[in-house]
Amino acid sequence: MFAEQISIFIENKEGRLAEVTAILRDAEVNIRALSLADTTDFGVLRLIVDNNEKADDALKKEGFTVGKTKVLAVEVKDEPGGLNYILDSLSENEVNVEYMYAFANPQCKNAIMIFRFDDLEKALKILNEKNIKVITTEEICNL
């Protein structure tokens, strides 16, 4: 049920992000969602792509440090309170969000959010109990 995200360490230098996207372009990898967390000196680029293996290979070959992390892709109702409903359910059960970002999904009337929780298994269980839709990697790739 988990989706896999790849993350890349990049220094805060001009053109570094463009280099990553160029590598992915040349490897014919499509970026489905991304977030960039940054500090003064470096950033971590987190990506959901349509082909993790290709992306991983291509980036490593160019000398990037690449990590893989399990995340949850969660369907969020596109209406007031949609996101809050999910967050409330989790915080009641003391599950923390480490980070989250939104997903472009033109085919679906609902939004999709990518979540990294401190306790992924517990979060998944809660979401299932609440009948909140969690999207798999395969589904993401086919979107």
Partner 1 sequence: MPIYNMHYETMPREGLEAVQLSRLKATLEKVYSTVPFYKTSFDAAGIKPDDIKTLDDLKRLPFTYKQDLRDNYPYNMFAVPMDNVVRIHASSGTTGKPTVVGYTQRDINTWAELMARSFSAAGATPSDIIHNAYGYGLFTGGLGAHYGAEKLGASVIPVSGGNTKRQITIMQDFKPTILTGTPSYILHLAEVAEEMGVDFRKLYFKAGIFGAEPWSENMRTELEEKLNLKAIDIYGLSEIMGPGVSIECHEEQKGLHIFEDHFIPEIIDSETGEVLPPGETGELVFTSITKEAFPIIRYRTKDITSLNAEPCSCGRTHIRMNKPTGRADDMLIIRGVNVFPSQIESVLMETKQISPHYQLVVDRKDNLDTLTVKVEIDETLFSDEIKSLQNMETSISMDIKDYLGVSAKVMLVEPKTIARSEGKAVRVIDNRKI
Residue ranges in contact with partner 1 by CB under 8 A = 5, 7, 9-11, 37-39, 41-42, 44, 46, 63-67, 69, 98-99, 116
**Given the complex with partner 1, which of 114 and 124 has the nearer CB atom?**
114
The nearer residue to partner 1, 16 or 77, going by C-beta atoms, is 16
Per this entry, what is the length of the chain? 143
- Which is closer to partner 1, CB of 37 or CB of 108? 37
Residues 48 and 41: their CA atoms lie apart, in Å, by: 24
At closest approach, how far in Å is the CB of 32 from partner 1? 16
Residue 69: count of CB within 10 angstroms of its CB: 14
Task: Please state, in angstroms and rounded to a whole number, the distance separating the CA atoms of residues 63 and 107.
Answer: 35
Q: Considering the complex, what minimum distance in angstroms separates the CB of residue 68 from partner 1?
A: 9
- The helix or strand, by DSSP H or E, that contains position 20, with its residue range, turns out to be helix 16-26
Quick one: tokens of 141? 């790739």
Q: How far is the CB of 132 from partner 1 (least distance, A)?
A: 23
Nearer to partner 1, 39 or 131 (CB): 39
Least distance in Å: CB of 36 to partner 1? Answer: 10
Residue pair 115/100 in contact (Cβ under 8 Å)? The answer is: yes
CA 131, 137, 138, 143 dihedral sign is: positive
